[in-house]
Structure 1
Amino acid sequence: MLNPLRFLLGVGLLGLLATGQSLAQTGPNPAAPTSPLSPAAIKPDSVFINPEVRPQFVGGDKAFMAYLSKNIHYPQQALQRRVSGRVMVNFILSAQGRVQDAHVVSGPGNGLNDEALRLVWLMPAWEPARSNGQPVRVACTVPISFNTER
């Protein structure tokens, strides 16, 4: 029988979406020269994908792993079927460091997708991303891996 506590939680914690321009929704013209945005130019509904300062789970990667280990419940259906895999969860992290609009991008199913999403929704607040010293909203993608064979 599989021990539900023996599984791998591989997390590329800040495997945050980090490509493209500074803003996902209201960015500058890519053909124009880029310059730092003034604080007044940052709109509250803007979503950054590559901020000057990336968000961080309070306490860093070790604290994130500890959070996952303490709070994860490997789904019985996945245990019985010996389903392992990585779930990619995308979300917006608010300027206050809270998760918004979380959804699964990909995963193996069998309850693992739902469990990864539950963990993301229940996360405590993060240190928010910053641009020009101001906290800003940022798009994040976190991979959470489940492995019953470890």
Structure 2
Amino acid sequence: MEYPENAKRLGIVGRIYVQFVVDKEGDITEVKVLKGIGAACDSVAAKVVRNAPNWKPGKHEGKVVKVRMVLPIVFSLHGVPDKKVYIGIKPADWEKFTVLHKKPILKKGMPQLTTYLNENFNYPEAALKDSIQGAVSVRFTVSEEGKVSHITPLTEKGYGCEEELVRLVENMPEWKPGKDYSGYKIDTDLILTVYFRLEEQDLTL
């Protein structure tokens, strides 16, 4: 499976859920991405499923039947390029996210998030001392006024990493709120993942 170059550059990782049907002949049909991570990874995952070898068809009470299945496909970066901070951002509630017509974005565009993090990120001293690296995630809400609230760490990396990410989110620039299909502004929960790396180099989106 080829990792999309844009996803590598952005440090996008995560688990994609692909639904498909194994028909009575064992062929794979009706491939659909239920939950994705974007950056061309979703289409790559769907392609992997479509091109998979035939399956042994399912049976029910001795009769061959079609079976609907869901396959998780994990995108994980190992030996990534030298960069200090890698960013991944995704909706926290996929059911609510489907009603969105416009996603929340920073007022000056999402590249502003990269600039802000690289300019304000401070590697925790305890993490530096013990060479701690890896993914740290927080969940937060972008309100209908574009304000950030309800910041909750989702990981337990320790060494001050969660505290640093919470600090960064608390001081983020203002957002443009998400809108539903009727054009109304709505609260949106997001998950921000930052990949702590010890090498220093600017990151661009």
Give TM-score, length-normalised by structure 1: 0.71
Structure 1 runs of 4+ with >3 Å offset: none
Percent of counterpart pairs with the same letter?
26
Q: 1:141 to 1:129 in 2, by over 3 A?
A: same
Deviation, structure 1 residue 9: 1.2
CA distance in 1, matches of 2:196, 2:110: 17
Letter in 1 for 2:87: V
Letter in 2 for 1:12: G
**Residue-by-residue CA offset, 1:74-127 (whole Å, 9 max, x unaligned):** 111100100011111101111011111101011411011100010001102101
Structure 1 residue 19 corresponds to structure 2 residue 86: no
Tell me what 2:86 maps to: 10
Structure 1 residue 89 corresponds to structure 2 residue 138: yes
Structure 1 residue 80 corresponds to structure 2 residue 122: no
- For the 8 Å contact 1:86–1:107, the answer to whether it is kept is no
Tell me what 1:142 maps to: 192
SS at match of 2:102: coil
Deviation, structure 1 residue 71: 0.9
Deviation, structure 1 residue 18: 5.1
> What are the equivalent positions in structure 2 for 1:111-150 lying under 5 Å apart?
111-131=160-180, 132-149=182-199
CA distance in 1, matches of 2:195, 2:84: 6
Paired residues in the alignment total 117
Deviation, structure 1 residue 7: 5.1
The runs of 5 or more residues in structure 1 that have no matched partner are 1-5, 23-48
Q: Kindly indicate which of the two structures has a greater share of residues assigned to strand.
A: 2
CA distance in 2, matches of 1:57, 1:18: 19
Structure scoring higher RCO (CA < 8 A, sep ≥ 6) equals 1
Tell me what 1:65 maps to: 114
RMSD: 1.7
Give TM-score, length-normalised by structure 2: 0.53
Deviation, structure 1 residue 60: 2.5
SS at match of 1:60: coil
Structure 1 residue 104 corresponds to structure 2 residue 179: no
The runs of 5 or more residues in structure 2 that have no matched partner are 1-81, 201-205
Letter in 2 for 1:145: Y
- For the 8 Å contact 1:96–1:125, the answer to whether it is kept is no
